[in-house]
Structure 1
Amino acid sequence: MQQLTPVRFLHLVSNKSSTLFHTRSLVNNLPLLTTTATKLMSSGSGRSEGSIRDGDTVFGKKEKVIEDQYFRVQEVEKIKHLKEELLKQKAKLAEIEDKIDELAPSKE
């Protein structure tokens, strides 16, 4: 069996020192290393991954209303822009139809 020698290291986040047992192979310490890395990277906020706001509070509800209002305004502006583009396209279509009528021989 290999001799284990303790190695002290300093956590960068918590400034606490811990002891790892150094061997010739890191495979023996891999579970300890991954646990330490996972603990360092995890946030202790209690919120789930990707959560944006807490909808149960008054502030969460107010934030939702503000976001919904913002998106409604954006949709109204987009519809207004699309209507303007539609009017421009209708005008172009009318011009093209007039040119076709001018170029087509009259049936009289």
Structure 2
Amino acid sequence: MDAVGKLYENNQLNSGDEVSEIKIGYHTVVPLTNGVQVFAPTWKLTVNDKRSYFVNAIEGVVISKDDVSFLGEAVKFIKTKLQQVDDDKAAGKEMRKMLTEKEKILNRSDTQ
């Protein structure tokens, strides 16, 4: 219900819309170079059997894109959160570098 509420709060639901499917998944947020993966619980809501929205179950962020665009948005969101990490911390630097590379790969596939 919270995920549907987030869609409503973000003006993603119109009069007469029907949430036709809801699934929960754990999406890999960032695969780290040392083999560790970070998963975020994410709701996928389909509206009128046409539009898909992803709602981060922890942060409540709504993303209305196809799967590739969703991953790009997730990378940008995480990079924004990482900017809050002190630049002197090696983990933060490594994570930002890796995310920048992933973002380049995602952007390259959009143009090809």
More helix by share: 1
Do they fold alike, i.e. is TM over 0.5? Answer: no
Who wins on radius of gyration, i.e. which is larger? 1
Q: State TM-score, norm by structure 2.
A: 0.25
**Greater relative CO (CA pairs within 8 A, separation 6+):** 2
